[in-house]
Structure 1
Amino acid sequence: MNPERRPLIAGNWKMFHGGNSGLALAADVVSIAKRVPHADLVISPPYTILGAVSLDCQGKKVAIAAQNLHAKDKGAFTGEISGPMLVEAGCTWVIIGHSERRQLFGETDATVAEKTAAALQYGLLPIVCVGETLAEREAGKTLAVVKRQLEAFLDILAASDKAVAIAYEPVWAIGTGKNAGPAEAEEVHAAIRAWLAEKSPALAQRTRVLYGGSVKPDNAKALLGCPNVDGALIGGASLDAASFGAIAEAAEALAIAR
């Protein structure tokens, strides 16, 4: 964790907590935010409660992210949602290119780049996801895959002065209970930082690189303690307030100690 960047702890609720349970969880996160003044918290509920959660969290140091967006601002795209709509719903962040979107819904490097540009155009901060599959890791292709994915949207990030985020999420670690160890995570995060710096030192300095992939209370301190890990994109553990709070508190402790 770098002392010049505030840790960012983001919870991706996926297709869970879309009703009253989501409002209750958001209220718990507001309480957690009061205990971690040196960390930034973001939650990403399903579309159905974005507006309600945004109202409940307004002015309470919890930012709202959408889990996806369409690259166009409007049109005949049944089932999709646009950047301007997300802004109206109270979102300030949006997750782009999550491995589940790439694997299950056919998103490509090109569509991820298009959506990243749209997010910035409409005033949303993207959390852009990159990461390799198990087969790619075992073939020694991790860095090549991550670099290819990053290069698809690198120029778009460099053309903006916004403090965006990139999430490294090894696909083999998402929802499996497995995770990259601190050394493995740091290797990729350091490479991402170096590639950002090659494009623009300022970009490398302001961009927070998050780790995502079975982050839990028992491994959060070790992962967040890596020099180039600026926070976490959390899936399953973000669905439980106690677990999410413990991870946020680990980030807070490291932020205070640095």
Structure 2
Amino acid sequence: MTQTPSLPRKEIELQLEKIMEKKIPGLTIAGLARVTGQRSQNLHHFKTEKPGHDKRLPKETIEKICTYLNCDISELITLKNQKSTHRPPPLNELDPSIQGYRLHCHLEHIAGRRGQSLFQVSKEIEVSYDVLRKMARNLLKRYSVDLIERILGYFNIEIKDLFTLEVDTTKILTSKIKNTYEIYFGLSPLMSRRKISIQQLMDDTGFTYAFINKLMKNEVKRLNIQSLEVLCNYFNVPPTELIKYRVTKKES
């Protein structure tokens, strides 16, 4: 009987403790948990240098670790007996609190470049297609060590080829926000100034009474571009005359 050859894999190692010692001597897992908002249990996943194949690495924890310690994922997760010289993109040193790293997976690009579909890859490495699809679309919340090692081995690539960090400037801390703004519609005062009734606006634009009434009372949850264009052209005004904002709260 022919023996099925074992799947190729590249063994990975986790370097969290070494990075902590290098970047912030004396920093403990408990301390890192406090500053990153991550559970100590999740951080302990990265403490063991040689993790088991069944260990799962939370994506958010990877992003938080790399952001706080300003390290690349290829420094945090390395191939056995290999050191990385790759560096992440620079964060804003003036206000690092408004930025962070977002983990991006290049699996679909790697497979496509080699003329393979994710379905084909899933069969070859014996991993669920749904898992690979979520991973390729950056929807997977946890990456198993086994999955990473299988993909690295199958494509014969390194961590930096599979994952990269991107600067995410959308992560603004809510504690930094001093003002709260409310969007409202300026249709009612505009109609009053032009002496246009709801009935006339209905006849001229084709909008329903319910829609116009909700706009006047600021009860509309969504306003599509086409409707906004109709109103702008009808009143001959820019969008800023119809969509306005006001400060509703300001912290002392």
Give the TM interval when normalised to the shorter protein: under 0.3
TM-score normalised by structure 1 residue count: 0.23
TM-score normalised by structure 2 residue count: 0.24
Asked which structure has the greater RCO (Cα within 8 Å, sep 6+), the reply is 1
